[in-house]
Structure 1
Amino acid sequence: MEMTDHVELVVELPWKWNPPEVGWFKINVDGAIFSKQKCVGIGVLIRDELVRVEAALSKKVDAPLGAMEVEAKVLEAGLLFARDVGLQDVVLEGDLVNLINALCGTSSPPAAVEPTIMDVLDLCRQFRNLAFSHVHRKGNVPAHLLAKHVSNIADFISWIEENSYCIEQALIQDVLSFFRFQ
């Protein structure tokens, strides 16, 4: 694969989701911790500039990870999923600003997740164009719901060019808030 020729930080309004530029796809990621079950949930939602769902993923990881480790893992899972779907121009968006800053090179990653962040940066080379973006948790609700959805599944479930029923209402709210404030 060729080296990524476009890496940048995109600063969004902190409280709402915004679609990517024309021709790009936005990968929203989030995690959920299930302490009693000693597992975590990974949620990945990929949408285009017209707010259409390209792909979505709910994945269970049987490991008792902490919040920072989960958030680093979801960044990696989001890029792996986008690569597997065949996307080349993507914005990776999450709600933990210090990890997004570490990916952009504006700060060092926390020591506990440095190897995972290095793996994410290595994955970045497999995309033609890549940007990073931070969004407030309120703007990341569908990805969070996908992460919580793993309590209902054994391993993982993915949707290609369709919406998961568990995020329908949150997707509608994203669209309404985007168009309301244009």
Structure 2
Amino acid sequence: MAAVLNNYSNFQDFHSIPVTKPTTGKWRRSRIPPEDYICHRCHVGGHYIQHCPVNGDPEVDTRVSKASELSSKNSGVLYASTPTLCSCNSKADCVYPVHPLPPIKWCIWTKPEIGWIKLNTDGSVSDGNSSIGGLFRDYKGEPLCAFFAKTLHQNTFVVELTAIWRGLHLALSLGIRAIWIESDSLSAVKTINGDQPGGPTSGFYLSEIRELLANFESYRVTHSWREANKAADYVSRMDVGLVDVVFWPPDFPDMLHHIIMDDAQGRVYFRQ
């Protein structure tokens, strides 16, 4: 992305240079910029970027850089550097100070491969009440079914594990053989994958989940940003008046259908 941004800035500089045509018939570009032109490197007028006096100075480059931290294959983060000097390497009170850009994270819901079923799960703990929800979708992003259940647990981590545990039980009863579990609880994902130890209250569900996973031909457990887990979040907050229920697409609320459609069409969700 940094290269793209640099190329875009160079593109702006190149096409802001006035073009004149001499008598030889060959086109050339003037070295003298218009009065209102400001160099995109040092933010000072009077010259173009290729003639900037601070070219080659490593202290000056404050272009936006990219840093990707993919907790799964469908997310990333862009952020700006935070220099203490102006881009012209002067004092901090320069007339052209550099302001860092706020963090911007983007994510999308990713469809599973053909032959796989994706299970998104989520848990909700609010005002002394806790519930779980999950949604199964195929390689086209089409929903198979969803589940909702109330739970007595108040520990958010345990509630997230309970949602995965309940979803795996349902997946086996549906005859699913290759499953991709996705949760917005990074702790739950890391614990299941053995990347971090589980707490004393999670022992039962953690061992149960691992035993259930052994019954599938193929499986994976990954993390998703909450914005890309909107469908499961919506289901986990539904109060259907029942303790445990499985429901099918014809019974889905309109809002859930809209979320599923957005996900299937590759909608990009931003986090700031």
**TM alignment of 1:52-71, pairs within 5 A:** 52-61=142-151, 63-71=152-160
Look up the SS of the partner of 1:177 in the other structure: coil
TM-score, structure 2 normalization: 0.57
Deviations 1:14-73 (CA, angstroms, capped at 9, x unpaired): 32210111110001000112434xx32111100000111111111122x14221111111
1:96 aligns with 2:157: no
- Larger RCO, structure (CA 8 Å, separation 6 or more): 1
Question: Who is 2:114 aligned against?
Answer: 22
* Paired AA for residue 242 in structure 2: A
* Paired AA for residue 209 in structure 2: V
Stretches of structure 1 that go unaligned for 5 or more consecutive residues are 1-9
Larger strand proportion of the pair: 1
1:157 aligns with 2:245: yes
Alpha-carbon distance between aligned partners in 2 of 1:34 and 1:43, rounded to the nearest angstrom = 14
8 Å CA contact retained: 1:54, 1:162: no
Shift of 1:12: 2.7
Shift of 1:162: 4.4
Q: Which has the larger radius of gyration?
A: 2
**TM alignment of 1:138-157, pairs within 5 A:** 138-149=227-238, 151-157=239-245
* Paired AA for residue 41 in structure 1: S
Question: Who is 1:11 aligned against?
Answer: 72
**Deviating runs (4+, > 3 A) in structure 1?**
160-163
Alpha-carbon distance between aligned partners in 1 of 2:200 and 2:72, rounded to the nearest angstrom = 25
Say if 1:135 and 1:52 are closer, same or farther in 2 by CA, change over 3 A: same
Larger helix proportion of the pair: 1
8 Å CA contact retained: 1:12, 1:134: no
TM-score, structure 1 normalization: 0.83
- Percent of residue pairs identical: 19
